[in-house]
Amino acid sequence: MAKFDDLSNLLKKFVEDGLPGCGCAVAKDGKILYEGYFGYADLEEKKPITEDSVFRIFSMTKVVICTAALILFERGKFLLHEPIYEYLPEYKDTTVFVTDSDGKVHVEKAKNPMLIKHAFTMTVGLPYHFGDSPTAREMRRVKEELKAKYGKYDIVTEARAMGSVPVAFEPGTRWLYGYGHDILAALIQVISGKTVGEFLHDEIFGPLGMDSTGYRFHGDIKERMVSCYKKNENGTWEKVSGFLDEYHQPDAIYEAGGAGLYSTVRDYLKFSQMLANGGCYNGHRIIGRKTIDLMRTNQLNEQQLKDFNFNNPYLAGYGYGLGVRTLMNPAEGNSNSSVGEFGWTGALGTYVSIDPSEGFSVVYMHQTIPNMEVYHHLRVRAVAYGCLR
């Protein structure tokens, strides 16, 4: 049986092998079992990683956004089978890029509407704008036009404009990582009447005491941010500007659903413990236990599962629920976690694993390009779950 000393030794080895720095915490039934910080938040300044270090969590924003949207679902504000166009009319006449037998691409009207459920499950057919598909190129054009027209704009303005973009496939038929959760962020703002950041603060961050989590710099957050490092071919680390840091500035207005939040290990552990323990943490109920069960139920069919985890050891054994990976087969996943364990990952190396059957959760964070998720996260998972008695 693993001991938490083994987890400390693992994290120390990460740093000894070259990782600039990392932090990790493990909790069960609302109590922290382990917390460890190793290496540097900034190599040049020799600033250590501590419990106060703030990390860009990138796509771990998605778990927060989907939880927030499901709070509105629980209040009867929308149903998963409803068309997105009932709330964002720009999605009324969705079109699809279709490739002919001769390889030429044309646009057709979609046979079926894009549903709210499709936005949760990444089956809307909208990737991110930085790819090279016809849909990604169109999304990039839309963003450029919005920037030229408005300069700064909010997520609702962008999501409405994306309704004109032909999608990559008939909505709901395939799985494609991308823009779905940004549509959810726009829905949160439209339905609640609050900005995304205000809704997250009022419904999640405030009640849970997540004082170091948000979109905008405030107080000493900027000074506590962990530096981002890119690994060069010769193995050295080069400090680079934090991707999307412009949206953390106090005068920014863009609040995305797929990325954009910062947090600390300890803050995100509170959020993960809430989801691991039936929607409650420290006396505050955020969401219902049965809604969490729905969130962590696989939503993908056989074809979509192939799109999701095809030949990817990191996602082996997992399906995809309402915005989270969810473990379906521990043997296929080579995982010692439980069926129904769920979570997600961030582009710079952040990771969360949540196991309601054990009231258990793990949060790990570092800030590197590439994020080296397979090597680091799966080892953290193996050791952390090995510590369960």
Tell me what pLDDT residue 1 has. Answer: 80
Q: How much helix, strand and coil, in percent to the nearest 5, is found in the chain?
A: 35, 20, 45
Torsion of CA 71, 77, 82, 84, to 10 degrees: -80
Give the CATH fold of the 4-60+195-386 domain: Beta-lactamase (3.40.710)
Whether residue 101 is predicted with pLDDT greater than 90 in this model: the reply is no
Tell me what pLDDT residue 277 has. Answer: 98
Arithmetic mean of pLDDT, 300-322: 96
> What value does the mean pLDDT of the chain take?
97
Residue 249: what residue type?
Q
Strand, coil or helix: what is 146?
helix
CB 41 within 8 A of CB 49: yes
Arithmetic mean of pLDDT, 350-370: 98
Residue 184: what residue type?
L
Task: For residue 364, give the nearest of 264, 244, 218, 235 by alpha carbon.
Answer: 264
β-pairing verdict for 368-369 and 228-231: parallel
Spatial CB neighbours of 96, under 8 Å, sequence gap ≥ 6: 107, 108, 109, 110, 125, 166, 167, 168, 169, 170
Whether residue 324 is predicted with pLDDT greater than 90 in this model: the reply is yes
Q: List pLDDT tens digits, range 305-314.
A: 999 998 899 9
Distance CA 207, CA 121 (A): 27
Q: List pLDDT tens digits, range 193-247.
A: 999 999 999 999 999 999 999 999 999 999 999 999 999 999 899 999 988 999 9
pLDDT band at 38 (very low <50, low <70, confident <90, very high): very high
- Joined together, the tokens standing for residue 68 give 């927030």
Distance CA 141, CA 100 (A): 24
Tell me what pLDDT residue 380 has. Answer: 98
DSSP state of 303: H
39 DSSP β-pair partners: 21
Whether residue 102 is predicted with pLDDT greater than 90 in this model: the reply is no
Q: List pLDDT tens digits, range 60-80.
A: 999 999 999 999 999 999 999
Tell me what pLDDT residue 103 has. Answer: 80
Arithmetic mean of pLDDT, 134-157: 98
Whether residue 97 is predicted with pLDDT greater than 90 in this model: the reply is yes
Determine which helix (DSSP H) or strand (DSSP E) holds 342, and give its type and residue range. Answer: strand 342-345
Task: For residue 33, give the nearest of 387, 379, 346 by alpha carbon.
Answer: 387
Tell me what pLDDT residue 257 has. Answer: 98
Task: For residue 367, give the nearest of 348, 352, 354 by alpha carbon.
Answer: 348
Task: For residue 368, give the nearest of 345, 348, 351 by alpha carbon.
Answer: 348
Distance CA 373, CA 307 (A): 19
Give the least confident one: 98-107, 115-124, 200-209, 290-299. Answer: 98-107
Spatial CB neighbours of 101, under 8 Å, sequence gap ≥ 6: none
Bond prior to 134 in cis (omega within 30° of 0): no
Whether residue 92 is predicted with pLDDT greater than 90 in this model: the reply is yes
Tell me what pLDDT residue 243 has. Answer: 82
Whether residue 248 is predicted with pLDDT greater than 90 in this model: the reply is yes
Instruction: Domain ranges for the chain, please list them.
Output: 4-60+195-386, 72-192
Distance CA 114, CA 340 (A): 27
